[in-house]
Amino acid sequence: MSPQLRPSLISLLALVLVAVSACSTPAAQARYRYPHRTASAYSGEANSNYAGREDAMQFASDIAARNGLDPAWVRSAMGQAHLLPSVQRLMQPTPRGRAKNWETYRARFVDDAHITAGAAFWRENFQTLMRAQQEFGLPPEIIAGILGIETLYGRNMGSFRVLDALATLAFDFPPEHPRAAARTAFFRDELESFLTQESRAGADPALPRGSYAGAMGLPQFMPSSIAKYAIDYDGDGHIDLINSSTDAIGSVARYFHAFGWQPGMPATFPVLELNATPEQKSALLTPDIVPTFSAADLSAAGSVLTRQAQNFSGKLALVELQNGDDPPSYVAGTQNFYVITRYNWSAYYAMAVLELGAAIKAEVAAEEDAMKLPTSDTTHSPAHGAASPQMDDAGNATHPQTTGAPPKKIETTP
């Protein structure tokens, strides 16, 4: 090696060591806790960014004014967002005429992989799950069902840059969607919440990754739900739904508590038969999944209920689960079933949560003698004629939204 090159090489190596050391500090580790994708990973995907979009830049200025943020920071952040055509495609509604199928939907989530992973999650987080049940009233099988379906306990948290996904859906939501105007407004609110949180935290808005709808972490919370319901359940001084199972468990439990979960109330009762006339059936299904009828009302309209359901004093909803070309299955949903659908607006999703949670609980119970771990009370009775629940209207997690309260996620289809 030429003597003249040695000093330069030594200097270069020193700079590299300094850089590596800096990135190993706790501050750097916290800042880069999100999976990182380089700009080149979006080649062919990010066809344009929003820096040159007048509507996006004006919206950034409005966000800053409404929330007392630095306008230059918000505009700079918005200018880094890229339009993602793949996100637009994923948000397209399910083609009309495609029959829903509860068994097909169920099979996606209530399988050996989810049950085994869920039982392991239960054992590893047993104390936290029991604490959440004591403080919020939510059984561990519901939390296990939610986190298993959402991300398989953190294995599939999404790889889309949240900034890009939210900007795409806020400014270029597919216009052919039947609810395009409402969805656009929803995603603009979520984009505002996201940028506000990132600005106040002094974070880099280009780093977080999530679903194509902008949901993040183990529980796949939308930004507004993070702001309202996420908690620092492990007490380390910050909320981390990506790396902290404890924070995720506490946040899900708090979400359900806020939406009115009733401890000890079953989520469903079987409907053994439905002998309703077409007019009666139509009337029973009109309220959708909102508990509206007494057990006597359902019975009078042709629903054959179990004795436990007949003695239930609360309101019920007739929930239909389509099975493709086969006859549909039915359950009677309580207030707690409705609460699950506030997490994702789909009866199929809610049923899958219940069925997966019940299967995980049974798996843990089977190991109880060896593990010495108690289990909690059952909250669900399976649908008559169906092995378990189904999915929502778009094929993905459908972020809650029906009673005016913003959902945790977005609506999807089986």
Q: Contact at 8 Å (CB) between 29 and 21?
A: no
Distance CA 178, CA 297 (A): 34
The residues near 391 (Cβ < 8 Å, ≥ 6 apart) are: 100, 105, 108, 346, 348, 349, 352, 412, 413, 414
Distance CA 147, CA 142 (A): 9
Beta bridge partners of 270: 331
Neighbours of 280 (CB within 10 A): 17
| H-assigned helices in 230-378 | 245-258, 278-285, 295-300, 307-310, 335-343, 347-366, 368-371
Q: Contact at 8 Å (CB) between 187 and 88?
A: no
CA dihedral 108, 109, 110, 115 (to 10 degrees): 130
Distance CA 347, CA 388 (A): 11
Q: Contact at 8 Å (CB) between 163 and 208?
A: yes
Smallest CA-to-CA distance from 165 within 230, 81, 228, 94 is with 81
Catalytic residue among 150, 192, 320, 411: 150
Query: What number of CA atoms fall less than 13 Å from residue 407's CA on the CB side?
Result: 27
Distance CA 11, CA 199 (A): 36
Asked if 320 is an active-site residue, the reply is no
Count Cβ neighbours within 10 Å for each residue of 365-376 and write b for 16 or more, e otherwise: eeeeeeeeeebb
Tokens representing 354?
């219940």
Smallest CA-to-CA distance from 409 within 137, 196, 200, 149 is with 149
Which positions are annotated as active-site residues? 150
